[in-house]
Structure 1
Amino acid sequence: MVVASDLKKILIVEDHPLARRGIAALLQEQGDLTVCAEAENIAGAIKAIEATDPDMAIVDLVLQDCSGLDLVRRLRARKPDLPVLVLSMHDEAFYAERALRAGAMGYVAKTEDGDIILRAVREVLAGRMYVNPALAGRMLSDLIGGTGGSPVHKLTDREFEVFELLGQGLQTRQIADRLHISVGTVDAHREHIKKKLDIPSAQKLLVFAVQWSQTSRGG
């Protein structure tokens, strides 16, 4: 029997209540894991870290008040030794590498079976990185071959966040507020994105971003 002091404490950061409950139920079924706190935004996540000192955080990639990538960076800055697993519905091919660069220890799709999600949790808790094995193979091939796949891979992490939010229909001011940057900085990122993707106008960039967003989400 595992005593309470030996339980691994996990923080869940997810802005959809149903998804939060599902993840929590899966973890609580395990004899050695416990959900120490749940949060739906960055403020709640920071507060939970200070109050509960979790052994691990599971973070959704899209939150109401910031991007999951930004949250991963902030969590790691607040508690550098905190392992973070990103759990998301987004296309692994585009998001996993960026999540790992931001400081996450693993990335797993919400569509995976519970056993796979638990395997990812345990790997990350043990200090090992986790991504889908097939994805790991593709990432290694890209690294060795020097290929980047989609032109979207050319974007920096911040440019990618701006591009993603454009695809979600956010206006310049909304993007600035979400990413905590100035409107001028958003405009500058948009110009860099246009150049890197070889898109001549802001309107065509918006159309491409929306189409890309729908495709990457499987919709």
Structure 2
Amino acid sequence: MPSKTSPKPIKVVLVEDHLMFREWLGEMLGREPGFTVCGEADNIQQGLRIIQQTAPDIAIVDITLRGSSGLELVKDIKAHGLSVPVLVLSMHDEALYAERVLRAGAKGYISKSEASGTLTEAIRQVLAGKIYLGEKMTTLMLEKISNPRAIGTTSRMDLLADRELEVFQLIGRGYNGREIAEQLHLGETTIDTYRARIKEKLQLRNAAELYSRAAQWVQENGG
């Protein structure tokens, strides 16, 4: 009698900067039949390297990482021609980030507040070639498509480009211009340009208003 071979486990890379949450995520997936964690990272450079080395079936990426954001990692994966699908897992508001991560090349967005069973279902949907979004965000995007001129559907935060939003978040976390430049591997003059654009788009009069608004946003959104 020919022996039955077990299906190959689904290889998952975790890119998450909170060690405790990453450990919990790894343990949770390890208990699920058919999953194995083949690599972990807490920043985009290490994350990209591990994805290239291990060729996982899927990468689960947090928005907030050490240094540049997970959004930049999604773009890097696409730029390097890697076919690994990405599911973004984050505590941030779906309405602000979900559309951005899909444009960047991710295949889904799920909130950290969801149950573990929802996460495994999201992984399976993405691996099946589908796009995964929560019910709330699916409704918002369908409304946006059906009525793109609807008044009030766009907040000023939506006006920020991805890199501007990243700089805004770092300002809110208390970093100064030099520290932001080091984190993002950019020049200080470039950061100054981003700060000026952010103030203009958010209609902020000065640096004090910028720091106040950014700090408030980080506090409200867990940045």
Q: TM-score, normalising length from structure 2?
A: 0.90
Shift in alpha-carbon separation, 1:94–1:197, aligned structure 2, 3 A: same
Question: 2:36 matched to 1:34?
Answer: yes
Contact 1:2 1:32 (C-alpha < 8 Å) held by counterparts: no
Residue in 1 that maps onto 2:82: 80
* Aligned equivalent of 2:162, options 122, 143, 157: 157
Residue in 2 that maps onto 1:62: 64
Unpaired runs of at least 5, structure 2: none
* Aligned equivalent of 2:148, options 129, 145, 148: 145
Count of residue correspondences: 217
* Aligned equivalent of 1:183, options 175, 185, 188: 188
For 1:214, what is the secondary structure of its paired residue? helix
Q: Percent identity of the aligned residues?
A: 42
Matches of 2:192 and 2:206, distance apart in 1 = 13
Unpaired runs of at least 5, structure 1: none
Q: Larger Cα Rg: Structure 1 or Structure 2?
A: 2
Q: CA deviation at 1:103?
A: 1.5
Residue in 2 that maps onto 1:89: 91
Contact 1:148 1:154 (C-alpha < 8 Å) held by counterparts: no
Residue in 2 that maps onto 1:106: 108
Partner deviation per Cα, 1:159-209 (whole Å, 9 max, x = no partner): 111111111111111111222221111111111111111111111111011
Q: CA deviation at 1:126?
A: 1.2
Matches of 1:151 and 1:42, distance apart in 2 = 28
Instruction: Write the letter of the residue equivalent to 2:6.
Output: V
Backbone CA RMSD of aligned residues: 1.8
Partner deviation per Cα, 1:14-48 (whole Å, 9 max, x = no partner): 12221111111221222222111111222321221
Matches of 2:71 and 2:180, distance apart in 1 = 14
Q: TM-score, normalising length from structure 1?
A: 0.92
